């Protein structure tokens, strides 16, 4: 590991359910009597080989079905924040998928109680700060998102923004216009996954129709010079996730990753882990992968870390 990785940084694109490590998955499945397909850590690791976003999502939703009690959500969140602290992450904005838990009849109060208690304990024990951003599952459509948003409003003080994730192709951001209008009225920060598997046009929609403050992924921006200009001019942050892109074959390999092109264009690009348990690493593993494959200089790495501190919400 390069020494520069010891510098402070923020992580702005991490799905807590995607930090569920195989050991915890097996332990919680046994404790909560949830039957899963896998009997060993080896079987789980072998299943974590994906050819597309959808192949990953199918396993991801199965994995999170072992989360039941407040203690489970606490353990999940605290384990992630411990790893983040070890990578010198000083602040993290953490995504989670409320609809995926509501669908299993888990109360949002249970989810928030576990997560917020873990954030407080991690702050006391490590000095790390954390905020929550619930994301909506685009494959369920806007009506389901609006119902979940209504329930979330009972817990408004526990989160700082909303996001949009899950299957991208076929679900352009514009389909969620009403949801984002409501959230803006609530003074919530707005983010959306866009341009990961979807085209540059989805990024335009996220900016112009949803009015997002940041774009998650945004790989497709490279194909559109006007879009690059717009994102640079407005100082829109981009939360990129190299190991995720490699695993899901968004780029053929990391030698082709867009990070340096975006840095050179003056975009506020940041480096993040997305779903670290599934994609082979936490924040610093992602920086290290780009140092190895794109040969990023210390100056470039420092800029990426500074960007993360510049475009965080708190």
Residues forming contacts to Zn ion in the complex (CB under 5 A) are 274
Tell me how far, at minimum, the Cβ of 125 lies from Zn ion, in Å. Answer: 27
Q: What is the dihedral of CA 89, 262, 249, 170, to 10 degrees?
A: 100
Q: Which two tokens stand for residue 193?
A: 């996954």
CB closest to Zn ion, residue no: 274
C-beta closer to Zn ion: residue 26 or 289: 289
Bridge partner residues of 136 (DSSP): 164
C-beta closer to Zn ion: residue 87 or 274: 274
Q: How far is the C-alpha of 220 from the C-alpha of 223, rounded, in Å?
A: 6
C-beta closer to Zn ion: residue 26 or 202: 202
Residue 23 annotated to the active site: no
Tell me how far, at minimum, the Cβ of 214 lies from Zn ion, in Å. Answer: 12
SS3 of residue 280 by DSSP: coil
Tell me how far, at minimum, the Cβ of 273 lies from Zn ion, in Å. Answer: 9
Catalytic residue among 196, 197, 205, 300: 196
Q: Which of 245, 308, 289, 283 is nearest to 83 (CA)?
A: 283
Residue 156: Cβ-neighbour burial (10 angstroms; 0-12, 13-18, 19+): exposed
Q: What is the dihedral of CA 296, 302, 307, 310, to 10 degrees?
A: 180
C-beta closer to Zn ion: residue 15 or 268: 15
CA distances in angstroms from 188 to 31, 95, 156, 260, 288, listed in the order given: 36, 14, 9, 31, 33
Tell me how far, at minimum, the Cβ of 241 lies from Zn ion, in Å. Answer: 6
Total Cβ atoms within 10 A of residue 298: 12
Q: Which residues are catalytic?
A: 196
């Amino acid at each position: 590991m390069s020494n520069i990785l010891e510098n402070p940084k923020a992580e702005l694109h991490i799905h807590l359910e995607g930090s569920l490590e195989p050991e915890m998955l097996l332990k919680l499945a046994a404790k909560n009597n949830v039957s899963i397909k896998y009997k060993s850590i080896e079987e789980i690791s072998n299943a974590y080989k994906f050819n597309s976003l959808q192949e990953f999502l199918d396993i991801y939703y199965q994995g999170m079905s072992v989360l039941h009690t407040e203690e489970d959500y606490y353990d999940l969140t605290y384990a992630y924040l411990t790893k983040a602290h070890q990578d010198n992450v000083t602040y993290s904005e953490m995504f989670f998928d409320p609809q995926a838990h509501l669908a299993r009849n888990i109360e949002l109060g249970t989810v928030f109680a576990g997560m917020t208690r873990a954030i407080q304990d991690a702050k006391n024990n490590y000095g790390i700060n954390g905020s929550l951003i619930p994301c909506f599952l685009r494959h369920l459509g806007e009506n389901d998102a609006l119902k979940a948003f209504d329930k979330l409003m009972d817990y408004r003080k526990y989160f700082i923004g909303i996001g949009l994730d899950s299957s991208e192709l076929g679900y352009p951001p514009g389909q969620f216009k009403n949801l984002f209008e409501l959230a803006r009225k609530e003074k919530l920060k707005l983010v959306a996954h866009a341009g990961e598997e979807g085209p540059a046009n989805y990024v335009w929609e996220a900016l112009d129709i949803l009015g997002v403050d940041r774009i998650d992924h945004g790989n497709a921006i490279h194909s559109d010079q006007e879009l690059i200009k717009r994102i640079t001019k407005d100082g829109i942050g981009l939360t990129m996730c190299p190991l995720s892109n490699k695993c899901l074959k968004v780029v053929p390999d990391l030698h082709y990753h867009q990070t340096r092109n975006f840095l050179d264009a003056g975009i506020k690009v940041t480096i993040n882990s997305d779903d670290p348990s599934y994609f082979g690493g936490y924040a610093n593993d992602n920086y290290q992968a780009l140092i190895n494959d794109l040969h990023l200089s210390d100056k470039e790495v420092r800029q990426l870390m500074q960007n993360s501190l510049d475009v965080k919400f708190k």
